[in-house]
Structure 1
Amino acid sequence: MISRALLLAGAAYVVLSATPALAETATDSVTDSVDEQQKTSVGTGASDRSDEILVTARRRQETAQEVPLAISVIGGEHIDNTGSFNVGRLQQLTPTLQFYSSNPRNTAVNIRGIGVPFGLTSDGFEQGVGIYVDDVYNSRVASATFDFLDVAQIEVLRGPQGTLYGKNTTAGAINITTNQPTFDFEGKAEVSIGNLNFKQAKAAVSGPLSETVAARLAVSSTSRRGTIYNAVTDKWIQSQDNLGLRGQLLWKPTENLSVTLAGDYSRQDAECCGSVFVKVGKTERAANRQFWALAAAQGYTPISTNPYDRVTDLDASLNAGNKIGGASLKVKWDVGPGTLTSVTAWRFWDWKPENDRDYTGLPIVTKSQNPSQQDQYTQELRYNYSSKNIDFVIGAFAFHQRIDTQGTESHGAASSRWNLSGALASDKSVLDGLTARNTQWLKSTSVALYGQLSWKVTDKFTIQPGLRLNYDKKKGFYQREVFDGQGNPVLFKDPVTGRPLTDPVLDARVIAQRGIFAPQVSSPSFSDWNLSYDLTLSYEVVPNVLAYATYAKTFKTGGINQNGLPADSAGNPILAAGSIKPETVNHYEVGIKAQFLDRKATLNLSAFRTDIKNYQATVNNGQFGVLRGYLANAGAVRTQGIEADFSFRPSERFNIYANGAYTDATYRKFVDAPCPPERSGGSASPQNCDISGSRLPGVSKYSLSFGAEGNVPVNLLGQDGQVYLGYDGNYRSNFSSNPTPSQYTWIKGYSLSNFRVGFRTESGFDIYAWVRNAFKENYMEQLIVGSGNTGLIVGLPGDPRTWGATIKTRF
Structure 2
Amino acid sequence: MAAHPSSTTRALSALALIAGMAASPVTAQSIAQSPNAAEAAPTDDVGEITVTARRREESLLTTPVSATVLSGRNLVQQNIRNFQDLRGAVSNLELVPLLSGGTSFTIRGIGQTFNQVNSDTKAGFYVDEMYVSRQEGNDLHFYDVASLQVLKGPQGTLFGKNTTAGAVLLTTQRPTDRFEGYAQVRAGSFRRIDTEGALNVPLTDGIYARASFRTQSVRGYIKHVLDDDRSGNVNSQSGRLQLRVDKGGPLTIDLLGEYNRSKTDGGATIPVGCLSTAGYIQNYDALHAVPYCTAYPVLGKDYTVYGGATLLAPTSAAVTDIARGGDAGGISRYAGRGPFNDTDATTLNGRLGYDLGGGIALHSITAYRRSHAQFYTPVNNAPNDIYAEYDDTRSTQFTQELTIGGTILDDRLTFLAGAFYFQQKTDFLQDTGPDWIDPLGYVYDASLKYRSYAAFAQASYKITPKLEATLGGRYTYDRKTGSSYVFFAGRENTFLYNGVPTQCGYFSGDFLGGIANCGGAPFTARDTDHWDGFDPKLQLSYRWSDTVFTYLTAAHGYNSGGFNQQLGGPSADGRFPSSYDPEKLWSYEAGVKLDLLDRRAVINLSGFYQKYTDIQASVNVLVGNVSTRQVQSAASAHEAGFEGEFVLRPVRDLTVRGNVSYLTQGYDSIRPNAVTLTLDTPVNSAPKYTYSAAVAYDLHVGGGLVTPSVDVRGVGKKPACQSGADYVCRLPAYALVGFRLDYSPDADGRWRIGVYGTNVLDKVTQQARTGYFGGFGIDRYTPGRPREFGVESSLRF
Q: Which residue identity is paired with 1:795?
A: Y
Task: Tell me what 1:12 maps to.
Answer: none
Q: 1:779 aligns with which of 753, 765, 772?
A: 765
Per-residue Cα deviation, 1:362-388 (whole angstroms, up to 9, x for no partner): 2544x6212121111110111121141
Q: Structure 1 CA distance, aligned partners of 2:450 and 2:193? A: 39
Query: Counterparts in 2 of 1:647-658, with a 5 A limit?
Result: 647-658=647-658
Query: Counterparts in 2 of 1:456-467, with a 5 A limit?
Result: 456-467=462-473
Q: 2:368 aligns with which of 346, 351, 358?
A: 346
Q: Structure 2 CA distance, aligned partners of 1:199 and 1:507? A: 53
Q: Structure 2 CA distance, aligned partners of 1:93 and 1:171? A: 18
CA spacing shift, 1:791–1:545, aligned 2, 3 Å:
same
Task: Tell me what 1:204 maps to.
Answer: 198
Task: Tell me what 1:691 maps to.
Answer: 678
Task: Tell me what 2:188 maps to.
Answer: 194
Task: Tell me what 2:697 maps to.
Answer: 710
Q: Which residue identity is paired with 1:525?
A: T
Counterpart secondary structure, 1:209? strand
Q: Structure 1 CA distance, aligned partners of 2:100 and 2:750? A: 35
Task: Tell me what 2:108 maps to.
Answer: 112
Task: Tell me what 2:420 maps to.
Answer: 397
Could you tell which deviates more after superposition, 61-70 or 552-561?
A: 552-561
Aligned 8 A contact 1:646 1:658 in 2: yes
Aligned 8 A contact 2:752 2:795 in 1: yes
Task: Tell me what 1:765 maps to.
Answer: 751
Q: 1:406 aligns with which of 384, 406, 429?
A: 429
Q: Structure 1 CA distance, aligned partners of 2:672 and 2:541? A: 42
- 1:740 is displaced (CA, Å) by 2.1
> Are 1:589 and 2:596 matched, yes or no?
no
Aligned 8 A contact 1:558 1:580 in 2: yes
Q: Structure 1 CA distance, aligned partners of 2:504 and 2:723? A: 38
Query: Counterparts in 2 of 1:440-455, with a 5 A limit?
Result: 440-455=446-461
Counterpart secondary structure, 2:204? coil
Per-residue Cα deviation, 1:172-219 (whole angstroms, up to 9, x for no partner): 001111110111111111111001011111100112100121000000
Q: Structure 1 CA distance, aligned partners of 2:442 and 2:667? A: 35
Q: Structure 2 CA distance, aligned partners of 1:612 and 1:314? A: 45
CA spacing shift, 1:56–1:286, aligned 2, 3 Å:
closer
Aligned length: 722
- 1:792 is displaced (CA, Å) by 2.0
Per-residue Cα deviation, 1:93-125 (whole angstroms, up to 9, x for no partner): 113111112323564111011032x4x422313
CA spacing shift, 1:734–1:153, aligned 2, 3 Å:
same
Could you tell which deviates more after superposition, 369-378 or 78-87?
A: 78-87
> Are 1:472 and 2:478 matched, yes or no?
yes
Q: Structure 2 CA distance, aligned partners of 1:137 and 1:795? A: 31
Per-residue Cα deviation, 1:629-669 (whole angstroms, up to 9, x for no partner): 12111211211101111221112210112201110122222
Could you tell which deviates more after superposition, 106-115 or 332-341?
A: 106-115
Q: 1:221 aligns with which of 210, 215, 231?
A: 215
Q: Structure 2 CA distance, aligned partners of 1:507 and 1:743? A: 28
Q: Which residue identity is paired with 2:765?
A: Y
- 1:304 is displaced (CA, Å) by 5.0
Counterpart secondary structure, 2:357? coil
- 1:296 is displaced (CA, Å) by 4.5
Aligned 8 A contact 2:175 2:243 in 1: yes
Aligned 8 A contact 1:516 1:626 in 2: no
- 1:516 is displaced (CA, Å) by 12
CA spacing shift, 1:410–1:435, aligned 2, 3 Å:
same
Task: Tell me what 2:644 maps to.
Answer: 644
TM-score, L = length of structure 2 = 0.84
Q: Structure 2 CA distance, aligned partners of 1:210 and 1:798? A: 47
Aligned 8 A contact 1:279 1:305 in 2: no
Task: Tell me what 1:273 maps to.
Answer: 267
Identity of aligned residues (%): 25
Counterpart secondary structure, 2:174? coil
- 1:286 is displaced (CA, Å) by 12
> Are 1:374 and 2:395 matched, yes or no?
yes
TM-score, L = length of structure 1 = 0.83
Q: Structure 2 CA distance, aligned partners of 1:383 and 1:748? A: 48
Could you tell which deviates more after superposition, 388-397 or 275-284?
A: 275-284
Q: Structure 1 CA distance, aligned partners of 2:56 and 2:131? A: 18
Aligned 8 A contact 2:604 2:646 in 1: yes
Task: Tell me what 1:21 maps to.
Answer: none
Q: Structure 2 CA distance, aligned partners of 1:246 and 1:735? A: 37
Aligned 8 A contact 1:439 1:478 in 2: yes
Counterpart secondary structure, 2:295? coil
Q: 2:90 aligns with which of 85, 94, 99?
A: 94
Task: Tell me what 2:551 maps to.
Answer: 548
Q: Which residue identity is paired with 1:275?
A: T
Q: Structure 2 CA distance, aligned partners of 1:271 and 1:589? A: 44
Aligned 8 A contact 1:303 1:313 in 2: no
Task: Tell me what 1:528 maps to.
Answer: 531
5+ long unaligned stretches in structure 1: 1-23, 35-46, 420-430, 483-489, 496-502, 675-687
- 1:221 is displaced (CA, Å) by 0.4
- 1:152 is displaced (CA, Å) by 0.5
Q: Structure 2 CA distance, aligned partners of 1:548 and 1:310? A: 50
Q: Which residue identity is paired with 2:378?
A: D
CA spacing shift, 1:516–1:471, aligned 2, 3 Å:
farther
Q: Which residue identity is paired with 2:404?
A: Y
- 1:227 is displaced (CA, Å) by 1.4
Query: Counterparts in 2 of 1:139-538, with a 5 A limit?
Result: 139-280=133-274, 296-297=290-291, 300-302=294-296, 304-313=298-307, 315-316=309-310, 317-337=338-358, 338-357=360-379, 360-365=382-387, 368-387=389-408, 388-411=411-434, 415=436, 434-482=440-488, 490-492=489-491, 519-538=522-541
Per-residue Cα deviation, 1:115-164 (whole angstroms, up to 9, x for no partner): 32x4x422313211111111111001222112122110011000111111
Aligned 8 A contact 1:708 1:727 in 2: yes
- 1:347 is displaced (CA, Å) by 0.6
Per-residue Cα deviation, 1:14-34 (whole angstroms, up to 9, x for no partner): xxxxxxxxxx96999455269
Q: Structure 2 CA distance, aligned partners of 1:253 and 1:599? A: 36
Aligned 8 A contact 1:566 1:627 in 2: no
Aligned 8 A contact 2:221 2:231 in 1: yes
Task: Tell me what 2:80 maps to.
Answer: 84
Task: Tell me what 2:708 maps to.
Answer: 725
CA spacing shift, 1:726–1:576, aligned 2, 3 Å:
same
- 1:723 is displaced (CA, Å) by 1.1
CA spacing shift, 1:542–1:33, aligned 2, 3 Å:
closer
Task: Tell me what 1:565 maps to.
Answer: 567
Q: 1:32 aligns with which of 36, 43, 48?
A: 36
> Are 1:59 and 2:55 matched, yes or no?
yes
Q: Which residue identity is paired with 1:386?
A: T
Aligned 8 A contact 1:492 1:571 in 2: no
Task: Tell me what 1:629 maps to.
Answer: 629
Q: Structure 2 CA distance, aligned partners of 1:149 and 1:541? A: 39
CA spacing shift, 1:297–1:739, aligned 2, 3 Å:
closer
The answer to which structure, 1 or 2, has the higher relative contact order (CA under 8 A, 6+ apart) is: 2
CA RMSD of aligned residues (A): 3.2
Aligned 8 A contact 1:525 1:578 in 2: no
- 1:267 is displaced (CA, Å) by 0.4
Could you tell which deviates more after superposition, 530-539 or 166-175?
A: 166-175
Counterpart secondary structure, 2:452? strand
Q: 2:730 aligns with which of 714, 738, 746?
A: 746
